[in-house]
């Protein structure tokens, strides 16, 4: 039962998973180091970040002699705020500029998140080079710098893109995956799961993300491979142990307090915030994206430099924006009591709440603006982590307010269920909920967010509040439009992609069909004629009919097959312009197995006067009746994945439909941003 084929697949999945884990660990280490370079350097060994430089030699007061702040390096003392600020801004701008330059010169596809494009690729769209090794390399290098520059971007979208590049690069070395699109799609789906898994240390969350967001069909077989790939990647990442914590869970917390019934009120507030945040970011970020497309197409590097400069300038004075977003999330999630409690910047003190609330509010607002203008710029950038960080600052703010309220009015009726001798509110849990809600608001995924959050923090006690917050976020978000940001980018860029939502149009497919088609006729065509059709059109294939009058349907022939046959006819069979070409239907009972035209040397039957391309005609393309509902045809596109559906009535070809036709129709009836030109631009 263990055939060579299956073994090969599992070996490839293992290799891909291991490579993804390795890549992710390396990026984590380099990012950490670059991030710290903004603040200072290690005098013992310049290649160490602050943590490793000061590993176990930290003095009592938290300082460490080996780590030299830039103000010290200039002999101006260890704590000159302005000098530190200037250096911070300088390094940030330098990193972002270098990154944007590298991306522009070596791999333009490495810019952006990549999730939208991979969704389209998994749905069958072809983008050459998008998953190539150059893209992989530049995205990896660029990502370290982009994250270190403290731009308002995250690493999980790029992590998915890089994982898919790894999957593509490795599996292309094997014949089986080169020739089978279905196999390749499975590997890419599994890779995307592993990409999220390593970004968050969340193997199951990764699988669910691939299921909920990436792939429109997800058979058990694919789930199984995604599970395995995510597991291997996570194992390798943990074995590499880039953070030297020995733990997979990134933000270990141990919430042990009961959730009170009155707190559901604030869950609702946080849920509404998540929905509004998502709607706001989606709306304005898309406007920014359109402006960027129109005016900043050739100024990617300067744009990134300017963004990094201003972000760093504004971020440094606010403690909640200065350090890495991942780090700040960990701090905000933490509870104040217990062994792991930490009083970062007075977050746990009971006085000074006002100042903290203002700082957190400012951080929320500024980071939101930063995310709106930054996401989509010409460096590798994701939107998960910024969204979660924004949600966490907002949630912690709410938590602090509720806590302050409860402490000052313990007898208020809402707080009756609080035990008077013990702290009642854990602000960290509000930050946790806020992060989940903001992520759900912007991506419109739910189940995977729940699991990712639990795997991130290692605790599962607050599952019901989390689910309720996400329900509300989703409901509020859907009020403003059902699609997440990835789907909106797909439409903005005009990729031919049918989203997972079900539409009800109530019209027959004949409403959207093309009835003017370029067809091949079974007899009477000349070599030259076909050659000219291929030159003058860019259709992916052509229906074959008996003759132009009867339109009796015979089959379908793809452009690439036809091109190959013509070239071969000319070189081997000495065909000339006036040679006749027939597409005689094959009467053989068994279907042709024509997987690829390139690997076998086919014989074209015929004589010196005419050639017969009949055996190469696909006699069983998907055909439907023109009165079939458009919805059913859309299901066929999504579930069965054909490029074209032919409309046949009583043996007569009456039209054809492609995904583009469907999208064009949808754009016409919906008030949509997708213009007809955008769709016509598609490949």
List binders of a copy of itself among 534-563 (CB under 8 A). Answer: 552-553
Q: State the nearest-atom distance from the C-beta of 559 to a copy of itself, in Å.
A: 21
Q: State the nearest-atom distance from the C-beta of 667 to a copy of itself, in Å.
A: 19
- According to DSSP, residue 413 is labeled G
Q: Which stretch binds a copy of itself (CB under 8 A): 40-48, 140-148, 432-440, 505-513?
A: 505-513
354-393 residues in contact with a copy of itself (CB under 8 A) are none
Q: Which one of residues 86, 636, 654, 678 is an interface residue with a copy of itself (CB under 8 A)?
A: 636
- Of 19 and 449, the one with the shorter C-beta distance to a copy of itself is 449
- Of 509 and 565, the one with the shorter C-beta distance to a copy of itself is 509
Beginning with the edge strand found earlier in the chain, give each strand of the sheet holding 520-521 in spatial order. Answer: 520-521, 541-545, 553-558
Structural Rg of the chain based on CA atoms: 29
Q: Which one of residues 506, 516, 598, 608 is an interface residue with a copy of itself (CB under 8 A)?
A: 506
- Of 25 and 624, the one with the shorter C-beta distance to a copy of itself is 624
Nearest-10 Cα torsion for 427, 431, 437, 440:
-150
- Of 625 and 668, the one with the shorter C-beta distance to a copy of itself is 625
Asked if residue 347 binds a copy of itself (CB under 8 A), the reply is no
The 245-264 contact track toward a copy of itself, x by CB under 8 A, reads -xxxx--------x------
Site residue total, a copy of itself (CB under 8 A) = 73
Nearest-10 Cα torsion for 260, 265, 270, 273:
180
Asked if residue 629 binds a copy of itself (CB under 8 A), the reply is yes
One-character DSSP codes across 114-148: -HHHHHHHHTT---TTTTSHHHHHHHHHHHHHHHH
Tokens coding 395: 């949630």
Q: State the nearest-atom distance from the C-beta of 15 to a copy of itself, in Å.
A: 16
Tokens coding 442: 């912007």
Angle between helices 133-148 and 81-106 (to 10 degrees): 170
Q: Which one of residues 23, 49, 171, 234 is an interface residue with a copy of itself (CB under 8 A)?
A: 234
- Chain-centroid distance, C-alpha 298: 24
Asked if residue 454 binds a copy of itself (CB under 8 A), the reply is yes
Phi, psi of 260 (to 5 degrees): -90, 155
Tokens 């009919």, residue located: 545
206-225 residues in contact with a copy of itself (CB under 8 A) are 207-208, 211-212, 217-221, 223-224
- Of 237 and 575, the one with the shorter C-beta distance to a copy of itself is 237
Q: Which one of residues 53, 562, 624, 634 is an interface residue with a copy of itself (CB under 8 A)?
A: 624
Q: State the nearest-atom distance from the C-beta of 227 to a copy of itself, in Å.
A: 6
Q: Which residues, including other chains, have CB under 8 Å from residue 195's CB and lie 6 or more apart? A: 20, 156, 159, 160, 161, 162, 163, 164, 206
- Per the rule left: phi > 0, alpha: psi between -120 and 50, beta: everything else, 344 is beta
Q: Which residues, including other chains, have CB under 8 Å from residue 426's CB and lie 6 or more apart? A: 255, 257, 335, 336, 399
458-477 residues in contact with a copy of itself (CB under 8 A) are 458-461, 463-464, 467-468, 471, 474
CA angle, 392 as apex, 390 and 397 as ends, to 5°? 100
Q: State the nearest-atom distance from the C-beta of 500 to a copy of itself, in Å.
A: 5
Q: Which one of residues 77, 338, 591, 605 is an interface residue with a copy of itself (CB under 8 A)?
A: 591
Asked if residue 654 binds a copy of itself (CB under 8 A), the reply is no
- Of 186 and 561, the one with the shorter C-beta distance to a copy of itself is 186
Q: Which stretch binds a copy of itself (CB under 8 A): 72-80, 130-138, 150-158, 646-654?
A: 646-654
Cβ-count burial of 505 within 10 angstroms (0-12 exposed, 13-18 middle, 19+ buried)?
middle
- Of 278 and 386, the one with the shorter C-beta distance to a copy of itself is 278
- Of 291 and 460, the one with the shorter C-beta distance to a copy of itself is 460
Q: Which one of residues 228, 375, 430, 613 is an interface residue with a copy of itself (CB under 8 A)?
A: 228
Q: Which stretch binds a copy of itself (CB under 8 A): 59-67, 105-113, 135-143, 586-594?
A: 586-594
- Of 627 and 668, the one with the shorter C-beta distance to a copy of itself is 627
Asked if residue 628 binds a copy of itself (CB under 8 A), the reply is yes
Query: Other C-beta atoms within 10 Å of 378: how many?
Result: 25
Asked if residue 635 binds a copy of itself (CB under 8 A), the reply is yes
Q: Are 586 and 592 in contact (CB under 8 A)?
A: yes
Q: Could you tell me whether strands 644-649 and 652-658 are parallel, antiparallel, or unpaired per DSSP bridges?
A: antiparallel
Tokens coding 348: 């746990």
């Amino acid at each position: 039962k263990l055939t060579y084929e299956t073994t090969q697949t599992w070996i490839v999945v293992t290799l891909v998973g291991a490579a993804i884990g390795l890549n992710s660990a390396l990026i984590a280490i380099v990012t950490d180091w670059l991030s710290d370079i903004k603040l200072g350097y290690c005098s013992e060994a310049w290649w160490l970040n602050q943590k490793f430089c000061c590993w176990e030699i930290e003095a009592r007061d938290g300082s460490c002699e080996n780590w030299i702040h830039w103000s010290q390096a200039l002999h101006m003392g260890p704590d000159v705020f302005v000098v530190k600020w200037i250096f911070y801004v300088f390094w940030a701008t330098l990193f972002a500029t270098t990154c944007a330059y590298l991306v522009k010169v070596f791999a333009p596809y490495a810019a952006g998140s990549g999730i939208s494009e991979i969704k389209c690729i998994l749905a069958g769209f072809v983008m050459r080079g998008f998953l190539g090794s150059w893209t992989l390399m530049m995205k990896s290098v660029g990502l370290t710098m982009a994250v270190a520059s403290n731009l308002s971007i995250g690493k999980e979208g790029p992590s998915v893109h890089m994982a898919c590049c790894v999957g593509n690069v490795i599996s292309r070395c094997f014949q089986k995956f080169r020739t089978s699109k279905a196999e390749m799609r499975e590997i890419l789906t599994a890779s995307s799961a592993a990409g999220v898994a390593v970004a968050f240390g969340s193997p199951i969350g990764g699988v669910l993300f691939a299921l909920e967001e990436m792939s429109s069909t997800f058979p058990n077989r694919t789930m199984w491979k995604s599970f395995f790939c995510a597991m291997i990647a996570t194992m390798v990442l943990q074995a590499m142990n880039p953070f030297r914590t020995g733990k997979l869970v990134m933000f270990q917390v141990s919430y042990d307090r009961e959730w009170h019934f009155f707190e559901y009120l604030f869950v609702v507030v946080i849920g509404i915030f998540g929905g509004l945040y998502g709607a706001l970011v989606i709306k304005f970020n898309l406007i920014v994206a359109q402006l960027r497309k129109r005016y900043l197409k050739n100024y990617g590097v300067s744009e990134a430099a300017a963004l990094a400069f201003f972000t760093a300038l504004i971020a440094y004075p606010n403690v909640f924006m200065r350090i890495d977003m991942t780090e700040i999330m960990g701090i905000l999630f933490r509870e104040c009591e217990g062994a792991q409690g930490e009083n970062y910047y007075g977050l746990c003190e009971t006085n000074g709440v006002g100042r903290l609330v203002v700082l957190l509010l400012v951080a929320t607002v500024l980071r939101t603006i930063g995310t709106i203008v930054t996401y989509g710029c010409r460096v590798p950038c994701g939107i998960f982590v910024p969204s979660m960080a924004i949600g966490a600052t907002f949630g912690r703010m709410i938590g602090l307010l509720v806590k302050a309220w409860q402490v000052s009015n313990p007898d208020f009726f809402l707080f009756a269920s609080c035990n008077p001798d013990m702290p009642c509110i854990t602000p960290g849990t509000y930050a946790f909920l806020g992060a989940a809600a903001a992520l759900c608001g912007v991506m419109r995924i739910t189940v995977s967010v729940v699991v990712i959050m639990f795997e991130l923090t290692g605790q599962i006690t607050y599952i019901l509040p989390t689910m309720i917050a996400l329900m509300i976020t989703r409901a509020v978000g859907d009020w403003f439009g059902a699609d997440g940001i990835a789907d909106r980018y797909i439409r903005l860029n005009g990729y031919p992609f049918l989203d997972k939502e079900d539409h009800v149009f109530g019209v027959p497919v004949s409403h959207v069909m093309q009835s003017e088609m370029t067809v091949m006729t079974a007899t009477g065509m000349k070599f030259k004629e076909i050659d000219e059709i291929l030159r003058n059109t860019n259709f992916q294939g052509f229906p074959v009919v008996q003759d132009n009058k009867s339109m009796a349907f015979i089959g379908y022939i793809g452009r690439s097959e036809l091109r190959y046959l013509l070239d071969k006819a000319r070189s081997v069979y000495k065909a000339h312009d006036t040679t006749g070409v027939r597409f005689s239907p094959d009467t053989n009972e068994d279907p042709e197995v024509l997987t690829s035209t390139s690997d076998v040397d086919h014989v074209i039957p015929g004589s010196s006067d005419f050639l017969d391309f009949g055996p190469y005609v696909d006699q069983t393309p998907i055909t439907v009746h023109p009165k079939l509902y458009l919805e059913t045809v859309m299901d066929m596109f999504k579930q069965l994945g054909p490029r074209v559906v032919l409309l046949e009535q009583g043996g007569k070809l009456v039209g054809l439909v492609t995904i583009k036709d469907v999208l064009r129709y949808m754009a016409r009836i919906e008030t949509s941003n997708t213009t007809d030109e955008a769709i016509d631009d598609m490949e």
